[in-house]
Structure 1
Amino acid sequence: MGNQDIVQKLWNLCNVLRDDGITYHQYVTELTYLLFLKMMKETDNEGILPEEYRWDTLTEKHGLVLQQHYRKLLLDLGIQGNETIKQIYMNASSNINEPKNLEKIITSIDQLDWYSAKEEGLGDLYEGLLEKNASETKSGAGQYFTPRPLIDVIVKLVDPQPGERCNDPAAGTFGFMIAADRHVRSKTDDYFDLGEKEAEFQKNQAFTGVELVKDTHRLAMMNAMLHDIHGEITLGDTLSNDGENLKNFDVIMTNPPFGTKQGGERPTRDDLTFTTTNKQLNFLQHIYRALKSNGKARAAVVLPDNVLFESGVGAKIRADLMDKCNLHTILRLPTGIFYAQGVKTNVLFFTREKTDKDSTKDVWLYDLRTNMPSFGKRAPLTEAHFDAFIAAYTAVDRTKVEDERFKVFTREEIRKKDDSLDIGLIADESLSAYDNLPDPIDSAEEAMAKLEEALALLGEVVAELKAVETTSDGSEESKPALAKFFEASWVYGNE
């Protein structure tokens, strides 16, 4: 049994928990608690765990006794043990209400082919589980997971080297840094070509990150540990004071969250030159400021189209970026690759120069969006789709590349367009407007997910209204339920 088969078996166990009302994301978090204990046993690392909380203590117990033991285990591991264990189990709680369901999952995990899993790599198994979660429209996890083919292409082109400090300020499940570690290992015979100190640096300091969401941070910690990466993954907000000390990196690769700061507030950092509620513009400022100004430090960042054309502060930030950095390449990405219809994104590749003025001379843009297939679960993005872009990017003389998708714009041309970078798209050759419609199955699944969300919210409304005595003047007691009602109405109305 290969890792793909094991991932599918683990995923199918989610059906056991449907009656408990557990979401896909909650299920993956719950699996993380259990898989950590099982994997510690399979890798002979149970010594880091208290004896009373090792895997076999779960398989020996049944029913209510098992459930009570499991909940105590989650609580205690979050406050004792080494730092990795505490961070994985910090504020952990179980969403499984039925003891028989918990027992079923533990038994099923115990019976999997762990010999084959270890042969293929437990880290790859866990990454497969995270990818499966992200690809499920209803899980809502796609925002935390960048498609692996895109990550691998970015890492290949940025080319992190041994001894370089790499960081992801919006780490998600730590996919960029895990791929960077894999890349450096492949060049150094799994670090055996390095000296002892250099190898220790790679494992313990080279790859770091910051993640804001607690449950996603938990997944990132687990993912890093299973890949033998022990760099610091901070639970925090890069756009707050937490991010002010994130400096002097050689490489930054990231896919920051889309949207504005919640509630429209501005970032709490005092060191950003330009203030805006646009999170991506703030992340972009952070990234080019956090690179070493040595002419070698480099970044690749996934950003939505609005960053390329937003006026006002957006234009000022783009001008500042092109002053301080050599923004040499922009890749216009296809739509449909982030498990959400209509999201248009780009990858900006730039190098932090020694000077703070006129660092960008030319910007090359590659259009991998226009006249491309409609990507989705049934037509997944693969690394082969990037072959022509990689050839253009790595060309010794880009001016000799014969590819209609590859265009260059001088800094002067961009300045005349008010520093807009919403450029480089080729002519759309679609014969019919219907050619660009989203996959109908994907759209139907997305609509179903929204309707399920609305029904769940309306269910909460009914439950809350039954639980409180609503007064005729609309007292405070009824307001939470009314808020949920309007939220559910909004979700339904937008479908």
Structure 2
Amino acid sequence: MTRTHDIVQKLWNLCNDLRDDGVTYHQYVTELTYLLFLKMAKETGQEHQLPEGRRWQDLKAKSAPERLDHYRQTLLDLGKHSAPLVRMIYTDASSFIRKPATLSKLVTDIDSLDWYSAKEEGLGDLYEGLLAKNAGEKKSGAGQYFTPRPLIDAIVAVMQPTSEDTIQDPAAGTGGFLIAAHHYITEHEDVYGWPEVKQRQFFENAFHGMELVPDTHRLALMNLMLHGLANDPERSGIRLGDALSDDHKKMGKASLILSNPPFGTKKGGGTPIRNDLTFQTSNKQFAFLQHIYRALKTHGRAAVILPDNVLFESGIGKQIRADLMDKCNLHTILRLPTGIFYAQGVKTNVLFLTKGQTEKGSTKEVWVYDMRANMPQFGKRTPFTRDYFADFEAAFGTDPYGGPDALAARVDTDEGGRFRKYTRQQITERGDSLDISWLKDDSAEQGDLPEPAQLAEEALTELAGAMEELRAILLELGEDPTVLEEAGVLS
């Protein structure tokens, strides 16, 4: 994936040209998406969705002085085009570029990228790499719409989606959960070997999401398209809307929900525009949590990322937790490390639950896995990778529903380990607080030096991070980073 990484860096470096033209950080990827869709439609043989005269070659053929006016008209025309996917991506689209020279440089640089290698390694991975790059840039503000891929992949692995599932993400962002679920299914089932009719039924019915922010919705559609998931966006995929309003009805019920709802309160402090929630609150996480366990089919399962306050807030928070544990089997909580999201201080958890057969007493015990204490400080020099989830995935077991037999097979590690069991009675005695920790965080202690092997491993990790930064600098300067590989500095 080295070539994809280099192309992502080159695309991100184009943002310097956009910034010089007055384009702000949060507009970068949207502006690039408008251009990349035209180019990628050409590379993937999907230009039939675009009207003649409004394709990549038409833009490229224009002289520099007239190209910007042609581009602006192209955006307007595509926003009215009859092909649903094209229309959705370009609805109300307008360019922030002001100088013809800026657009000409973008067109030239995008056209000169190594598209053969990009297609070999996957255009979806290329675009997702660009979204990840944008999410990592704090000034862009995009981190709130992007969940780290190692976390998504670990959650999907233990939830084991199948082609029989109806999968939903009510706060879809750029579509990471739906894409990962699709990837898992196609890896474990011969979806593309099915008859065409069965394939079409699967893609039209399996994946459903909703995103509130129009620009993020554009990025999600582009992401899904490049991963083969936007065949019929009017029937499936990610819709523009608010799951905390009556828009949620467009998604229907689900057998599997995977989501990372936005943090904070409803804009303006108001309550959700839904009268079907038992507990009315302006806290978006509690509102989304209610939506999730209400939208699950009986015996449906869900994994949802939520901040610590959802586990301990009193009042309505306590009532919602009690209602959740009545209606669902909340069998597992994963306490996540800090520093893995866009805001370093955010403390989050993953709640794993299965909709019960009855309205009362569904949760008998809750297992808590502490992946927060004694973990590295994650960042550019210590990247957060899937490897960190290996022990959790093994401890979780092979039953995505958290059934009685699977829970009975788990091992309580007592106070010295990361995985512990708490009965419903014990949680009641805690005032229904699920903010449970027991490990002493030795990483916070001063004067405790790690083992030499650990120090060496951390040094190698930091060196790898520094090398990646050096590669990015060379790309920005227009140099070929392979000279470092030839010299034995990068490999």
Tell me which interval the TM-score lies in, with the shorter structure as reference length: 0.7 to 0.9
Secondary structure (helix, strand or coil) at the match of 1:364 reads strand
Secondary structure (helix, strand or coil) at the match of 1:52 reads coil
Q: How does 1:427-442 map to 2 (within 5 A)?
A: 427-430=440-443, 432=445
Aligned residue type for 2:440: A
Q: How does 1:466-477 map to 2 (within 5 A)?
A: none
Pick aligned residue for 2:321 from 318, 321, 324: 318
1:426 is aligned to 2:439: yes
In structure 2, runs of 5+ residues without a counterpart are: 231-235, 399-405, 449-491
Pick aligned residue for 1:372 from 355, 372, 375: 375
Which string of whole-angstrom CA distances, capped at 9 and with x for unpartnered residues, describes residues 418-470 of structure 1? 111011341222463699xxxxxxxxxxxxxxxxxxxxxxxxxxxxxxxxxxx
Q: Name which structure has the greater RCO, CA cutoff 8 Å, separation 6+.
A: 2
Which string of whole-angstrom CA distances, capped at 9 and with x for unpartnered residues, describes residues 294-318 of structure 1? x2x1000000000000100000100
Which string of whole-angstrom CA distances, capped at 9 and with x for unpartnered residues, describes residues 107-166 of structure 1? 000111111111111111111110111111221111000000000000001111112100
Aligned residue type for 2:161: P
CA distance in 2 between counterparts of 1:130 and 1:115 reads 21
Q: Which residue number corresponds to residue 131 of structure 2?
A: 130
1:352 is aligned to 2:364: no
Aligned residue type for 1:257: P
Aligned residue type for 1:35: L
Pick aligned residue for 2:296 from 276, 291, 294: 291
CA contact (8 A) 1:49 1:81 kept: no
CA contact (8 A) 1:252 1:287 kept: yes
Which string of whole-angstrom CA distances, capped at 9 and with x for unpartnered residues, describes residues 226-272 of structure 1? 11113231101100111145432010000000000111100110100
Cα distance change on mapping 1:120 and 1:49 into 2, 3 Å? same
CA contact (8 A) 2:324 2:330 kept: yes
Q: Which residue number corresponds to residue 165 of structure 1?
A: 166
Q: Which residue number corresponds to residue 451 of structure 2?
A: none
Q: Which residue number corresponds to residue 227 of structure 2?
A: 227
Cα distance change on mapping 1:310 and 1:43 into 2, 3 Å? same
Q: Which residue number corresponds to residue 399 of structure 1?
A: 411
CA distance in 2 between counterparts of 1:196 and 1:107 reads 39
CA contact (8 A) 1:163 1:201 kept: no
CA distance in 1 between counterparts of 2:321 and 2:250 reads 23
Q: Which residue number corresponds to residue 264 of structure 2?
A: 259
1:218 is aligned to 2:218: yes
Secondary structure (helix, strand or coil) at the match of 1:184 reads helix
Cα distance change on mapping 1:47 and 1:192 into 2, 3 Å? closer
CA distance in 2 between counterparts of 1:312 and 1:194 reads 51
Q: Which residue number corresponds to residue 35 of structure 1?
A: 36
Secondary structure (helix, strand or coil) at the match of 1:75 reads helix
Which string of whole-angstrom CA distances, capped at 9 and with x for unpartnered residues, describes residues 301-358 of structure 1? 0000000001000001000100010000000000000021210000000000111110
Cα distance change on mapping 1:433 and 1:288 into 2, 3 Å? farther
Query: How far 1:276 sits from its partner (Å)?
Result: 0.7
CA contact (8 A) 1:353 1:359 kept: yes
CA contact (8 A) 1:322 1:358 kept: yes
1:102 is aligned to 2:103: yes
Cα distance change on mapping 1:228 and 1:245 into 2, 3 Å? closer
1:278 is aligned to 2:249: no
Superposition RMSD in Å: 1.6
In structure 1, runs of 5+ residues without a counterpart are: 436-495
CA contact (8 A) 1:324 1:352 kept: yes
CA contact (8 A) 1:188 1:194 kept: no
Query: How far 1:176 sits from its partner (Å)?
Result: 0.2
Q: Which residue number corresponds to residue 15 of structure 1?
A: 16
Q: Which residue number corresponds to residue 60 of structure 1?
A: 61
Secondary structure (helix, strand or coil) at the match of 1:80 reads coil
CA contact (8 A) 1:244 1:271 kept: no
Aligned residue type for 2:120: E
CA distance in 1 between counterparts of 2:373 and 2:253 reads 37
CA distance in 2 between counterparts of 1:192 and 1:66 reads 41
CA contact (8 A) 1:259 1:280 kept: yes
Query: How far 1:41 sits from its partner (Å)?
Result: 0.8
CA contact (8 A) 1:244 1:269 kept: no
Secondary structure (helix, strand or coil) at the match of 1:162 reads coil
CA distance in 2 between counterparts of 1:162 and 1:2 reads 32
CA distance in 2 between counterparts of 1:424 and 1:256 reads 23
Q: Which residue number corresponds to residue 469 of structure 2?
A: none
CA contact (8 A) 1:252 1:299 kept: yes
CA contact (8 A) 2:271 2:282 kept: yes
Secondary structure (helix, strand or coil) at the match of 1:69 reads helix
Q: Which residue number corresponds to residue 416 of structure 1?
A: 429
CA contact (8 A) 1:156 1:183 kept: yes
Q: Which residue number corresponds to residue 192 of structure 2?
A: 192
Q: Which residue number corresponds to residue 140 of structure 1?
A: 141
Cα distance change on mapping 1:74 and 1:156 into 2, 3 Å? same
Q: Which residue number corresponds to residue 237 of structure 1?
A: 242
1:91 is aligned to 2:92: yes
CA distance in 1 between counterparts of 2:74 and 2:126 reads 24
Q: Which residue number corresponds to residue 363 of structure 1?
A: 366
Q: Which residue number corresponds to residue 174 of structure 1?
A: 175
Secondary structure (helix, strand or coil) at the match of 2:210 reads strand
Secondary structure (helix, strand or coil) at the match of 1:192 reads helix
CA distance in 1 between counterparts of 2:380 and 2:138 reads 9
Cα distance change on mapping 1:430 and 1:7 into 2, 3 Å? closer
Aligned residue type for 1:205: N
CA distance in 2 between counterparts of 1:37 and 1:82 reads 14
CA distance in 2 between counterparts of 1:40 and 1:188 reads 28
CA distance in 1 between counterparts of 2:430 and 2:422 reads 11
CA contact (8 A) 2:26 2:139 kept: no
